[in-house]
Amino acid sequence: QVQLVESGGGLVQTGGSLRLSCAVSGRTAIYYARGWFRRAPGKDSEFVAAISWNGGSTYYADSVKGRFTISRDNAKNTVSLQMNSLKPEDTAMYYCVADRSSSMSRRGVDWDYWGQGTQVTVSS
């Protein structure tokens, strides 16, 4: 059973930074693609970023490219999302995801495992 647990959310002012982390249980999960999605109130889930199992490939939504950085530490079985230059429109619940197939799809339905989420609020 793979479980994902996010941490690091909070309240920050426009232009500030936050670092989200996601710990995963299950040793085989180090071979899974990992990623982040977010959901703002009243909106559908939105792809944010993804990283391949060995960290060799990363993908970002256009809305966060250049501001967010995804990374992973397979020794610790964690993935992180460094968020800089935050904007009010980044306010959302952020979810850590994992995918056995490593497709790194931008569609939420293609990811096998989801965490419970951590709230990020950016004040203007």
User: Residue 58 in contact with residue 116, Cβ under 8 Å?
Assistant: no
Does pLDDT of 27 surpass 90?
Answer: no
By three-state DSSP, how is residue 28 classified? Answer: helix
Residue found by looking up tokens 């060995």 in the block: 54
The H or E element that residue 19 is part of is strand 18-24
pLDDT digits (tens, 9 = 90+) for 61-116: 999 999 999 999 999 999 999 999 999 999 999 999 999 988 889 999 999 999 99
Q: Tell me whether strands 118-123 and 10-13 are parallel, antiparallel or unpaired.
A: parallel
Average pLDDT of the residues in 42-52: 96
Does pLDDT of 28 surpass 90?
Answer: no
Query: Measured between alpha carbons, how far is 59 from 106 in angstroms, rounded to an integer?
Result: 9
- pLDDT given for residue 8 in this prediction: 97
Query: Measured between alpha carbons, how far is 39 from 46 in angstroms, rounded to an integer?
Result: 6
Q: Identify the CA nearest to 37 among candidates 17, 53, 22.
A: 22
Neighbouring-strand partners of residue 67? none
